[in-house]
Amino acid sequence: MGRSKASRPPAGVPGPGDLDQRWHLASTPHEVNVTELEFALMRVRESFERWQGECFAAASGLSASGSENALLHTIRLHERAKPLKELARLTNRDDVPNMQYALRKLTKLGLIEQIGNRSNAVYQVTDKGREVSDLYAELRRRHLIEFTEVVKDMDERLRQTTQTLNLLSGIYEQAARVTATHQRFTDGR
């Protein structure tokens, strides 16, 4: 027998045994879905960064963050040197001082080199950087790709997810621009 109408919780309020997904970020079903996606993205980002760091350490014996590792592979992309501006665009980053720090670190580790002076500098991988990134790619194939290849329809799922994430990237960028444009400034109170 079902519960009587008198004992049912109001619409939108979870009943006994239901998960309560409402909170300050999510009061409608659509907001719950967006928030759940955002939490999934945060968890994936952290897992991805951890994976990159561990794989990089195994490949090189060195320590680097996920974003430093990503810069190394982005610099190597298409086997041609790239200026900072292009690296920022390819990685969708605008934190130039952090990128400069990462580039200095990768240079100090002997993985990349700067060609040219500050105003026209480009970055390219060194022989050591090529060796490390090749070993990283091999470890990635053995320890990551091996797992993804066994998931049914994974290539189609990856393609669709990539399209969705690229679309969401544009939506978040637009939302950030609108918010920055119309932001209220207070006197700190």
Q: What is the pLDDT of residues 127-144, one digit of tens each?
A: 999 999 999 999 999 999
Q: How many independent structural domains does the chain possess? A: 1
What is the signed CA dihedral for 125, 131, 135, 137, rounded to 10 degrees?
30
Residue 120 covered by a domain? yes
CATH of the domain at 119: 1.10.10.10
Residue 91 covered by a domain? yes
Contact 129, 110 (CB under 8 A): yes
Residue 13 covered by a domain? no
- Residues 159, 142: Cα–Cα separation, whole Å: 21
Point out which residues pair with 82 in neighbouring strands. 123
H/E element, 112: strand 112-115
Point out which residues pair with 26 in neighbouring strands. 23
pLDDT per residue as tens digits for the range 144-178: 999 999 999 999 999 999 999 999 999 999 999 99
pLDDT per residue as tens digits for the range 93-132: 999 999 999 999 999 999 999 999 988 999 999 999 999 9
pLDDT level of residue 23 (50, 70, 90 thresholds): confident
Residue 122 covered by a domain? yes
Strand positions, DSSP E, 116-155? 122-125
Contact 139, 130 (CB under 8 A): no
pLDDT level of residue 9 (50, 70, 90 thresholds): low
Give the pLDDT of residue 27: 85
> How many CB atoms are closer than 10 A to CB 164?
11
Residue 59 covered by a domain? yes
pLDDT per residue as tens digits for the range 40-65: 999 999 999 999 999 999 999 999 99
Residue 177 covered by a domain? no
Its domain, for residue 53, covers 23-165
Residue 2 covered by a domain? no
H/E element, 137: helix 127-140
